Structure 1
Amino acid sequence: MSTTTTLPLSQLVVSPKNVRQNPGDVTALAASIAAQGLLQNIVVSPTENGTYQVDAGGRRFAALTLLAEQGKIAADFPVPVKIISAEEATAASLSENVQREAMNPVDELNAFKQLVDEGFTIDRVADTFGVTPLVVQRRLKLVAAAPELLELYRADEISTDQMLALCATDNHEVQVHVWETYGSMSWNNKPADLRRAVLTREVEADRDHRVAFIGGVAAYEAAGGEVRRDLFSTDGQAAILTNPELLDKLVADKLEATKENLLAEGWGWVEIWPTWDYSASYAFGSLPMVAVDLPEETTSQIAALREEAEQLETEQEQLHSAAETEDRDLTDDEWERDQDIDDRTEAITAEIEQLESAHKQYAPEAMASAGVILCLQQSGLRIERGKVRAADRKNAAAALGDAGEITGGRETESAGRPKGENVSDALRRSLLGHRNLAVQNVIAERPDAAKILLACWTVKELRGSSREVPTDLSISNGGYGYGTRTYHPITDDAGKASADAFLAACKAAIKDLPTADGKLWDTLAEMKPAQLDKIIALGVALTVSVNEEHKGLTAKLLETLDFDMAEHFEPTADNYLGRVSKPLVVEALTEAKQIKGEADSTALLAMKKGTLAAEAEKRLAGTGWVPKGIRSPKPKAKKQAEPKAKAEPKAKPAKAAPKAKAPAKAAAEAAQVAA
């Protein structure tokens, strides 16, 4: 049972059962009540000492209390209340704060506009409806929307942010036209895309990569697009397209056609991305390509190459056999032929590998569980085939069987681990940035490894696979975008300082070199090999961009360097501990054997986040613990070296001693080596 009546303000007290304990700023609400009175009853329940606790309507009670303190109403001001039993208090509070249904945005817009037209301030409207002033401002901005769009908005077919973007112009015709053009394009109807579309009314053909993609200005004109020639261009022929929506439609049509062609190849799905998202792309695994039956022509070509290799090997064996029979060294001509055979045999091997790899394809039975990402970039259309979602990974692997394995990507979906027990993407990238910086520092001190890495890049570049090398030979932050040097910014202050210090040290090492090109060349040419190696090592180090995973040339590089991330990373509250959940912090302490038992673990979890991070930082100092994402694998046990028996067959005789070098040149080289 409930009773509606009035009670003196002085008889009301705050209820511990009111689910909204913090009323916030009630200044504007107090002003509204002073002007209009209390429009809604406060819900109260009796207490044992004769007072009534406010179970629902805490903000109104706080506003009345403020008015009493300001002397604008009496302390015993009669407050309209609804009295309920103490047992109903919590339910009533929840009902008022949780169960109430929000107004339709369009109804809110009309109500807000009416009140503002009547002279209400933004804050007063906000308090009247129990929303923030920002909500009121955003709704009022939608007054500029076309009626057709408002109806779609009322039906929840357009989001608030999309409506705000469309209202960047007051032209209703443009708003409707843009929505009709882009509304169905889920990959291209984000607020930023819609805002660009309503504001951009012309396109310069020679500066927009989309024009070339659709087939040039001719394709646009053939679709009915109007063109204006720019008389101020060099030749007076530069084209300005006056219908950007048509251009976007032509782009969308071509992308959709490409999508259909890709689906016809047998892929399970195709996603169209408006821009390439490196972070999102890392979540996809990669399907391997498998060998298929070679065409007859290729099989014949490979057979001919293998036959040639066998003939060369026979010829080489005869050269060495003749020299051994006659108990002599190879002649200069024979030695040169021997080298030519080695070079040709190696080239044949590489050619056979290229022919075989050119006839690999994705396994048709696995393609249904994988897909393609399609993205139009400045450089052209980017098509990434063979991408595997976490949810499809098991099916794709089963379809592959023993033909290969899926690499990279996530093995579980984002929901696979409880929320709060994941490392954020920004932190993950920052940690990988730390690892890459550490490798750069080590490479700068290892010219031998730097030169091998440089040579690897050269070989791979000539073979068209340089993206497998942990360097893009670019010192700028632009780069090619692969590896972890680019797009993996370190976010903690100490890490940023380390990166700045490394760059400063590199610049300091070359600060005394001449700036004029000619003098710079001459100075470098006169340097001793060790000095030149140091500069080369710095340059290569600045370009190092290791793979996120410990595999391929990245693994070989790190193993060559004896790289251990534990020597370069100390977990702190700033770089890790203060940016992950408490369970992850305790997990780190457990792995580092810094937990003193179950009671200690419970006590740590009960700490406030900042206190726990500080405590963990102290405990982990010097333990060598490193987060899993950048942890170096344990080095493989090295087999004890055993003396090798000298191979008896086919030992090549040493080449005859070369002609003596000029004494001056020999002395100069000896001096460099000694130095």
Structure 2
Amino acid sequence: MATAVQKITLASARDIPFNKLVLSQSNVRRVKAGVSIEEMAESIARRGLIQSLHVRPVLDAEGQETGMFEVPAGGRRYRALDLLVKQKRLNKIAPVPCIVSDAASDILIDEISLAENVERAPLHPLDQFRAFQAMQGKGMTEEAIAAAFFISVNVVKQRLRLAAVSRKLLDLYADDALTLEQLMAFTVNDDHERQEQVWDALQRSYSREPYQIRRMLTEKAVRASDKRARFVGVEAYLEADGTILRDLFESDDGGWLKDPVLLDKLAADHLATIAEEITGEGWKWVEAAVNLPYGVNHGLRRLSGQRAVFTQDEAATVDALNAELSRFEEMYADTDEYPEEVDERIGEIETALAAFDERPVQYDPAEIARAGVFVSIGNDGTLVIDRGYVRPEDEAPVEPEPVRDDEVATDAMEEEEIAPPAIQRTIITIGGAPAAPAESEEAEDDGIRPLPDRLLSELTAHRTLALRDAVADNPHVAMTALLHKLVLDTFRHRSATGCLEASVRRVHFSAQADDLNDSAVARSVAERQELWAAELPEDDAALWDWLGALDDGSRMALLAHCVSFGINALYEKPNPYSGHGVSESGLRIRLEQADRLAWATGLDMVEAGWQPTVGNYLGRVTKVRILEAVREGAGERAAQLIEHMKKGDMAKEAERLLAGTGWLPDALRLAEIEGDEAAANGSEATGIDAEVDEADALPAFLAEMGGDLLDEREPADNDEAEFAHAVAAE
């Protein structure tokens, strides 16, 4: 027969007047912890008594109930109620919900007090974060939540930010797979996808520290302390719909600006505005950039201007300020520090005197017309304007020798015909590029400027692909390149990944011309890839055996093909602001090694199939560079016959004139080398045929008008040097 389970009986609940309650001396809580009594009293006043008190009847000496009840569990709630009574906010006979246990129970009252505190499960922080989030979703403001729980608004913001982290990461935190400090670090960036990417990346990293998480989440952003941000102003950035990443848990120095492209645009626009204002001073050129290159003023003559002379009133003001400053120094010479009001006044005096010292420098107007100004941003975000530099080509011409009287009239007529226009346009460049696209042919810069970064990247993409094809056809060079890398890794301790500590990472071109995919070298590389792919076994073990059975020639050819995909000869704009991208030294080393590969393989970009067209070069550069290319490739006469054309027509004719000449831009030429190797290879470096039939190179409509021009020039024998092409070198 089954034994009946004994049923338990729960203690009854009833309301007891507060003045009938007393705090039990058996309550185990002695140390203050958690919410203060004052805060709990305010919570009861706002929300009522959420949890009943546990009480026992007080017995007299004979074991009879006295009508009083002691409180072994709920002592802090009792004290909060007592405080409300003392504040006259609660009636002393107000009924208090209580659970009344049996006074004759054999369970010690100390046990009840201890169990009430020990068995209480603390709320997981995540539950609190989500509760705050739910209250906000139901209409409570951050200020209202803070007031309801007697905490600061900033604490509420922090908890709401924690609740807004990716659900995947919150689940990990709930399972203790993520620490609170790590979760706090993830709040820096509110992009859930990026948060999860960083967490996945950390699984493969030895470091999962919060600082590492913050660094990875802000690696593409710009510090608010960055000089560009200080120059533009965070307010202006926000007004342009920029966003800022903030860390609510650590000092973030103003946060991170999330959109560096927008910041660069704002900085460039601001610099352009300032440069435009400076043009009103009459300078020939203004070059503005966030960071001007080191030695940008090398080889330029610096104008020696003079500070504007003080007026009588200004001189009197300076004397008075200096006298007042001297007076203070004498009065307080024996004291360690100035009184506060005196110290403030001295600061005002020093600021005023500094303003007088920084009065503008005056230059000769004739010198201003041939000189220029550099505008940049200082490390502290302040504007730096450096005036008065003359380029060598802008120097005044040397005085000619005296002429005879009968030549004066002729010279005067010629000077009238070639006299420059009276109005000079100031040339403004921002970051090495024109401030705005020229709307007319007259507005184009007369000087030769560096090629645009995008064009350089596209040109070097052609060269990189050609290098891959050349290296794949030259196993000896491929082996040398691979051995070179292994030696660097082994003896110079450069980091690498993989079992062998050597790998080939196929480099894709971030910038490339439209014709790259259809080029001859692209087809050659693709065909070679398809041939090898058709031969390779699918199974890894079978591949090992297949490789082992290859003859030495085939093994070397396959090695060369694989190594070639790791070649990266691309030009990229160096990135000075973060660890991403390539540094200036890294770019220099990359291009130097590419030059060595080019010489070793005998790479000729002309033979590789590259030739200048409107799309890949001529339509992307200035008229000056177009003429320079035609002058080098087709001769001086051809350049003169197209120099009057508009840029679009000039580029089209230049493409026809340069066809078959083998002309290459600097970025595609072999680098200059020294010694016998240069002598041996120099004549083959460019692939340019020195013998060019200029008559055949000219279009019909130019040949008709070119006859007179050619007749007016010196005999053809004197022009032979103009048709010879020097060895191309960077």
TM-score, structure 2 normalization: 0.27
**Pair member with larger Rg:** 2
The structure whose RCO (Cα within 8 Å, separation 6+) is larger is 1
* Bigger proportion of residues as helix: 1
